[in-house]
Structure 1
Amino acid sequence: MPAKGINNPRTFPLPLRPLGRRRVPLCKAKIFLKNVFLAGAALCVLTAAPAWAQGPVSGTVTDARTGEPLPGATVLLDGAAGPATSTTGSFSLPAVPVGRHELRISFLGYEPLVRQVQGQDAEQLLNAPLQPSAVLTGEALVTAQRASDRTATAYTNLGREDLAKRNFGQDLPYLLDQTPSVVVTSDAGTGVGYTDIRIRGTSNIGINMTINGVPLNDPESRGAFLVNLPDLASSINSLQVQRGVGTSQNGGAAFGASINISTLDVRREAYAETNNSYGSFNTWKNNVQFGTGLLGGHFTIDGRLSRIATDGYMNRASSDLKSYYLAAGYQAKNTLLKFITFSGREKTYQAWNGVPEPAITGNRALLQTYVDNGELTAPDAARVLQEGRRYSYYTYDNQTDNYQQNHYQLHLSQGLGENWNLGAALHLTRGFGYYESFRARRRFSAYGLPNVVIGNQTITRTDLIDQKWLDNYFYGGTFALNYQPKDNDKFQATLGGAANKFDNDHYGEIIWAQYATTIGRRQRYYFNNATKTDYNAYARATWQLLPRLGVYGDLQLRRIGYNIAGIEDDQNDVATRARYTFFNPKAGATFALAEGQQLYASFAVGQREPVRADFVDRPAGDQTAKPERLEDFEAGYRFNRTGLDLLGGNTAVRLEANGFYMNYRDQLVATGQLNDVGAPLRTNVARSYRRGVELTGFVSANDLISLSSTLTLSQNRILNYQDVTYDADFNPVAATPRTSVISYSPAAVSAHTLEGQPVKNLRLAFLYKTVSRQFLDNSENTNRSIVPYQVLDFRVRYAIRPVFVKEIELAVLVNNVLNREYVANGYTYSYLGASSQLETFNWYFPQSTRNFLASVNLKF
């Protein structure tokens, strides 16, 4: 979307015509999947002619220059907010009273469109092309990194309304669950607290995330811990998920996908909102949001306060999360300056150990194997039988993770004549916190401490409580210089880059011990410091060579320096010095077959450095971790048409088929094991690939009924993989090399949403998700896997607009309607056990059975 703001409102002609009755054949592509459930038939009946007979005003909002739809645009009728435009840019006002009314449509970066409409019995269709505004916004930075139909990549755009539909307080991954190739999981089983997202089998370690163009991923672990930013979705204006390498981003390379988040927004009208949810497991979400609108034609202030709390589905898996968001901006004709600060604080009971396999299966013989090999104590085993799949490994009452993360961003957008604009940002992220653990019978020597001598007795072990701390700063600057000729939209170019530094202290302290004569107050038993610098520059351009043919090129150079000095918690010296220089070219082409139809193809290279755990937690016998390289080939077909006279009204149809081949060198894949803070251990494999097809389909009639489906079928393979296990002394035992499936990479993932409006302002939706088998390691052994699962959710929303507030929305989300007992994540390890036979120990993360969340949302 163009990176321009709003100024000098003008009224543009808005064509108005009744819907015709000419039949238009639907595209022959049929990708609406056979596992869409029978419940859809009932919903179709409910959404029959009575709702359509009310004479709605509907239409499609597009960019006047490119014709691309604008999802998330604001639609106001006589000052009252209607539904934001959908992902196809369409909107519908179900019943407009007879008489004259003012319709106002606005979208960030465009001039608002105002039109007088006359209420009538007949249906009305509006085509609403918006003109880019002359005023800049902070979106200049965000847009510089986003994909479009000209960049020949696979992507999904979501607007504020798309996220609000499912935002009952669950973390952002759960709001993206219906997008292509996505698998989500929750440690506590409810979607609140620690959650993870995988796209094309790649975890968030390989997913690049940015907020307003600023890197969000932790520079050391490469993970994006969204638990640190609870209720972030309530402040998101727009979001784009790119799959594959995608366009050049600030921060680490995308090895499966990138998630580009924008909180930048210019809302001209003052507003206030409060969203409040309550649900199963004593789950609460409360927030208040406000905005001043445009003050004096130049100033805006927006803010939010949020709190989310839950007991969790798993026993002793509670979360207490708090956050705020504040933005203050100044805008003029050619300048926008905006300061943004947001923060999150979390206190989460540790659930990252998961549950042992016998807690899922009830197998007592297998449970005894865990006891015989010291994986569980006898009291633990008794609790497994008592608590079942909701078992929690920890019982210490303050076995918690405590962390706070403060973000500060200063954004500038500056027009530089008619054809150029500059987006730049300075940023600082301050993070600090610890997790606290009770440790039973630990050796003093493991903490670098002398034994305790009492009389003639030498004590070598003690119970103790320790805290492991992180204390870090991440700061730097980013920029994007954009060239867009005013009178020529055939050529666009961007020059961008960033310089960032990360400084992180890791240390541990003993805060209590049963025998403490040799332990000081808050005894520090390890300390190491890590610093990382990251510089990148990129140049990108799109050029419409011929009326139907466009080309795209993108070149990025990235330089990384990483140093660690000190000792880790196991008392080992973890001194590390690494330097990397990566050159990442990308190129693509698009070809327009006809109106709304496009072929595209692209090639991109992505290269990434190892993460901290790859250096300090290497499995026995593994060599120094190597950087990864990915060559990504993407090709596909898009069909996008709106305003079709099908299904009795204004119908929008969108179809896409995307094929991908991701060829890896030295890919770092999960071994199935975790380190002591729940992070996956990984190892390099020389050759591997992911290849598959992503099919998506969407159809909407008058925004009164819609169906969206996505299906990903893929092969994910390691060539000449050599499985390694360990004996009782942890000596490696290697197997014969062979081709194997990459861990945590399902061969089939699908998602379907059927939504309808049977009566005015009442929306019902069924959401269905399927995930095929996932292997916990790379051995392709079904005894170390997550069984396939299917989950059905149901959502209902009802909005009323009384005279004393703009809107009251009542909503209910029922998760796992069919009450399935399933797991979505896990880990495994094997060794020669007490019986001198190879023993495998699987641990899983059960997800909640049927549960609900209900919300009351008010807009003032």
Structure 2
Amino acid sequence: MLQLFKKTLLTAIAALAVFTAYAQNSITGTVKSESEDEILVGANVVLLPISKGSTTDKDGEFKINNIPNGDYTLKVSFVGYKNYEESISISESKSLKIYLVPDKLLSEEVVVSAIRADKLAPITQSTLSKKEINSVFNGQDGAFVLEQLTPSIQVNSDAGTRFTNYGSMRLRGIDQKRINITLNGVPLNDMIDQGVFFSNFTDITRSMESVQVQRGVGTSTNGTASYAGSIGYESEDINTEDPEATVTLLGGSFNTWQGTAEVKTGLMENNTAFYTRLSRTYSDGYRDHSGSDAYSFFFSGGWFGEKDIVKINGFNGRTKNDLAYSPVPESLIEEDPRTNVNNPNDIDDFGQSLLQLEHTHFFNNNSTLTSSAYYGAAGGDFPYTYNVDSENLASINYPLFNDHYGVMSYFNQKFTDFEWTTGIHAYRFNRENIEQLVPNFSNPYYQDQSIKDEISAFIKGSYRVGDFSILADVQARYVTLEMIPDTDFLGEDRSIPTYEWTFLNPKVGVTYEINSNINAYASFGRSGREPTRSNYLGDTQINAGNIDSLQNQGFVQPEFVNDFEGGLRYNTQKAKINFNAFYMDFENEIAPIGEFIPQYFIQLYENQESSFRRGVELDWQFMPVENFTVSGNATYMQSIISEYSPEGSNEVFEDIKTPYSPEYFVNAQIQYHPINQFGLSLHTRFVGKSYTDLTNNEDFVLPSYSVANVKLFSNISESYRLEVDINNIFSEQYYTDGGSVGNEMGFFVQAPAHFYATFIAKF
């Protein structure tokens, strides 16, 4: 009897222990796509070896109950994605977040991932997919696309059409010479003057798979300093299943037309794939003699092996632009808003090209090495016509030519909770500046050379601890600039010492995942930026007016920004909301505040007193019902310079607002697609007023403006699509840039109501 009692008691205790273990432990979690951060409905989740399982529901969530203590293997599978496998130890209930990788032969995304921020990174960012880009794209130059889709970007169009010809861009009120811009990691900026001219390679946006805009210092990248932010383009994904050919024809106001042909082979039996695009663009422009005539070519080809990707990417573009870079006095605008004060004989002829060879080796699913070598070139003619007297004209041509050679390499390693990347980049940038009296092209009266070398390296890592993800990133840059003057022009042999700079740019941040849909982040980053060639010269020449300053290397120092960012991100199938606040503290910001030398028309640059920018940014997207989307973005910003005293004056201005920095930006868009064959979108943009000079004189102000646009589209069939864009539907007369012209304000007038119609055929 006693033995029976003992047996019964032991059996009961064992049964109770097993029951307790099963009853207390469970696994819950969400399954998402790593590339799009979208929930995956119907993914299979299995716990081995006990073969307990579940599938994800409409919210991408799963739950497995009654799991005894022990060690298990969790497997997750979903059609079109690589299987996920993780060893886990169960002693209590767990909540997991699982990200599946798209199942391609080998992913091309790894090429740009090294200098991009993932969606959980504590970086203020907007990553635009091809679908989002195409929602506003109709063939216009790159900057005009970004203005509508991301916060805090303002773009000016010299021609007034916001389609082609020269345009300038500002991010958080900071000019594009302070914005880092890359394509597949290769810098597109002119390294010496640090700007980018999208009109040199029109229609390039059509060949892009995605673009990421990082506002503020962001993560480490290649090329010029990420001072205001960075824009990283990813070229067309060629590793696709099906071949495709597309023909796009556009026509519209101001005799604007564009023809584009694209061919994509898809992945062929020999594991190679190719893509090419050829575009031709023409426009008369809205303002008088502000037209463009351009062509652009893009090519990408690749071989996709079991462990390697070898790709070649390249583009070539050439544009003839009627020049309209001068603001027009308001008095002339009142007579005729299309007035262009530049001479109609001034037509530049500029081009830019790039060739990149890249190789990616996959050691395994978690370790990759990507290396590239590239060559870029740019150059052409830039004429300036002026009055010799009341009857005679003369013209000077300012050609320049750049050669850009570079190499870069990244190694990436992923673990369960930790990922790190290290990279190195080196380049040489060679520039020739020439001046010629037209038509005496064979005998220039001026010619100098500038050579810039850089080697940079970075290492960054992210580590997950529970619901926290920590990012650390540091970049080192060593930069030299050598300027070689034309001694014949100077009349004496005066050499300029080589300029050298070393920068250490740290970034650190943390993200907290409140739940699978909401995360909050905070970060700090510091970046230093060397002066440009024009910051030193104040002109195009090395001449007697600036040679003394050039030999005194201390007169313009590098500028620095300390960037504090924080935000909250909410993401579901029906709604996406990103809110962030920023504070950018500037040291030694470079500005044209130095001595003006009248005989050489030179305004020298100097470092100004401390300044800051602070503000909040919001972007959103809602889909309250099917086929109806409300989206947009907004910015409120204050930009203050502590003190400014004009050269040669005793007057001091304190706490002044930084020129060309509006306090408000707002974009709002509604898109409705009631039936498959038809849809429309309504877009409105508001930009607040800004000052154009450092004294905040109320007579020299860019007024606020509001403009509305309509887009109509029809899917005639699976192969044919028609789009009509009607811009500035209320014909508001508005200005996006300007400055003082003598004693009055001058502006760049933007076009009244105008339209573009686009026909797209896919085969």
Q: TM-score range by the shorter chain?
A: 0.7 to 0.9
Match of 1:482 among 412, 418, 421: 412
Matches within 5 A, 1:112-127: none
**Residue by residue, what CA displacement relative to the aligned partner does 1:739-792 show, whole Å, maximum 9, x if unpaired?**
111111001111111111122231210111110011112211221110000011
Match of 1:305 among 269, 278, 281: 278
Residue segments in structure 1 that go unaligned for 5+ positions in a row: 1-60, 72-88, 91-104, 114-127, 363-384, 443-460, 513-519, 643-651, 725-731, 830-838
Q: Where does residue 169 of structure 2 map in the other structure?
A: 197
Q: CA deviation at 1:144?
A: 0.7
Residues 785 and 569 of structure 1: CA distance in aligned 2, closer, same or farther (over 3 Å): farther
Distance 1:615 1:411 in 2: 36
Matches within 5 A, 1:498-647: 498-512=425-439, 522-545=442-465, 547-567=466-486, 575=496, 577-617=498-538, 624-642=555-573
Matched to 2:111, the amino acid is: L
Q: Where does residue 662 of structure 1 map in the other structure?
A: 584
Q: Where does residue 657 of structure 2 map in the other structure?
A: 741
Asked if 2 retains the 8 angstrom alpha-carbon contact of 1:554 and 1:585, the reply is yes
Residues 413 and 106 of structure 1: CA distance in aligned 2, closer, same or farther (over 3 Å): farther
Distance 1:667 1:854 in 2: 44
User: Is 1:413 the equivalent of 2:360?
Assistant: yes
Asked if 1 retains the 8 angstrom alpha-carbon contact of 2:593 and 2:646, the reply is no
Matches within 5 A, 1:78-89: none
Q: CA deviation at 1:463?
A: 4.2
Give the TM-score of the pair, scaled to structure 2: 0.83
Higher relative contact order (CA 8 A, sep 6+): 1
Asked if 1 retains the 8 angstrom alpha-carbon contact of 2:272 and 2:301, the reply is yes
Match of 2:159 among 179, 188, 194: 188
Match of 2:398 among 464, 468, 474: 468
Q: Where does residue 162 of structure 1 map in the other structure?
A: 132
Q: CA deviation at 1:575?
A: 4.0
Matched to 1:440, the amino acid is: N
Residues 662 and 568 of structure 1: CA distance in aligned 2, closer, same or farther (over 3 Å): farther
Asked if 1 retains the 8 angstrom alpha-carbon contact of 2:538 and 2:602, the reply is no
Matched to 2:396, the amino acid is: D
Asked if 1 retains the 8 angstrom alpha-carbon contact of 2:124 and 2:215, the reply is yes
Match of 1:850 among 729, 750, 753: 753
Q: Where does residue 391 of structure 1 map in the other structure?
A: 339
Asked if 1 retains the 8 angstrom alpha-carbon contact of 2:139 and 2:206, the reply is no
Residues 676 and 741 of structure 1: CA distance in aligned 2, closer, same or farther (over 3 Å): farther
Asked if 2 retains the 8 angstrom alpha-carbon contact of 1:63 and 1:132, the reply is no
Asked if 1 retains the 8 angstrom alpha-carbon contact of 2:536 and 2:604, the reply is no
Asked if 2 retains the 8 angstrom alpha-carbon contact of 1:692 and 1:713, the reply is yes
Asked if 2 retains the 8 angstrom alpha-carbon contact of 1:150 and 1:551, the reply is no
Asked if 2 retains the 8 angstrom alpha-carbon contact of 1:506 and 1:527, the reply is yes
Match of 1:347 among 316, 320, 324: 320
Q: Where does residue 141 of structure 1 map in the other structure?
A: 111
Q: CA deviation at 1:574?
A: 8.8
Q: CA deviation at 1:170?
A: 1.5
Q: Where does residue 292 of structure 2 map in the other structure?
A: 319
Q: Where does residue 34 of structure 1 map in the other structure?
A: none
Asked if 1 retains the 8 angstrom alpha-carbon contact of 2:325 and 2:342, the reply is no
Match of 1:214 among 162, 186, 197: 186
Matched to 1:68, the amino acid is: D
Residues 689 and 314 of structure 1: CA distance in aligned 2, closer, same or farther (over 3 Å): same
Asked if 2 retains the 8 angstrom alpha-carbon contact of 1:674 and 1:827, the reply is no
Q: CA deviation at 1:472?
A: 1.7
Q: CA deviation at 1:842?
A: 2.8
Distance 2:392 2:498 in 1: 36
Distance 1:658 1:538 in 2: 26
Q: CA deviation at 1:314?
A: 0.5
Distance 1:682 1:556 in 2: 27
Matched to 1:753, the amino acid is: Q
Structure with greater Cα Rg = 2
Asked if 2 retains the 8 angstrom alpha-carbon contact of 1:347 and 1:401, the reply is yes
Matched to 1:478, the amino acid is: M
Q: CA deviation at 1:284?
A: 0.7
Distance 2:487 2:288 in 1: 31
Distance 1:308 1:675 in 2: 41
Q: CA deviation at 1:135?
A: 4.1
Matches within 5 A, 1:676-687: 683-687=606-610
**Residue by residue, what CA displacement relative to the aligned partner does 1:409-430 show, whole Å, maximum 9, x if unpaired?**
0011111234310111111002
Specify the SS of the correspondent of 1:240: strand
CA-atom RMSD, angstroms?
Answer: 3.1
Q: CA deviation at 1:856?
A: 0.5
Q: Where does residue 816 of structure 1 map in the other structure?
A: 728
Q: Where does residue 799 of structure 1 map in the other structure?
A: 715
Distance 1:139 1:157 in 2: 13
User: Is 1:433 the equivalent of 2:380?
Assistant: yes
Distance 2:314 2:598 in 1: 33
Range that drifts further, 323-332 or 696-705: 696-705
Specify the SS of the correspondent of 1:344: strand
Specify the SS of the correspondent of 2:337: helix
Asked if 2 retains the 8 angstrom alpha-carbon contact of 1:470 and 1:506, the reply is yes
Residues 600 and 224 of structure 1: CA distance in aligned 2, closer, same or farther (over 3 Å): same
Residues 503 and 66 of structure 1: CA distance in aligned 2, closer, same or farther (over 3 Å): closer
Specify the SS of the correspondent of 1:136: coil
Distance 1:658 1:709 in 2: 15
- Taking only the aligned residue pairs, the percentage that are identical comes to 27
Matched residues, number:
670
Q: Where does residue 840 of structure 1 map in the other structure?
A: 743
Give the TM-score of the pair, scaled to structure 1: 0.74
Distance 1:416 1:678 in 2: 58
Matches within 5 A, 1:222-237: 222-237=194-209
Q: CA deviation at 1:167?
A: 2.2
Matched to 2:630, the amino acid is: L
Distance 2:157 2:734 in 1: 12
Residue segments in structure 2 that go unaligned for 5+ positions in a row: 1-29, 41-58, 61-77, 85-97, 540-544
Q: CA deviation at 1:675?
A: 13
Asked if 2 retains the 8 angstrom alpha-carbon contact of 1:135 and 1:335, the reply is no
User: Is 1:690 the equivalent of 2:610?
Assistant: no
Q: Where does residue 756 of structure 1 map in the other structure?
A: 672
Distance 1:133 1:570 in 2: 62
Distance 1:758 1:132 in 2: 31
Distance 2:236 2:705 in 1: 38
Specify the SS of the correspondent of 2:147: coil
Specify the SS of the correspondent of 1:233: helix
Asked if 1 retains the 8 angstrom alpha-carbon contact of 2:668 and 2:685, the reply is yes
Match of 1:254 among 208, 226, 231: 226
Asked if 2 retains the 8 angstrom alpha-carbon contact of 1:574 and 1:616, the reply is no
Asked if 2 retains the 8 angstrom alpha-carbon contact of 1:526 and 1:568, the reply is no
Distance 1:826 1:277 in 2: 30
Asked if 1 retains the 8 angstrom alpha-carbon contact of 2:141 and 2:199, the reply is yes
Residues 736 and 422 of structure 1: CA distance in aligned 2, closer, same or farther (over 3 Å): same
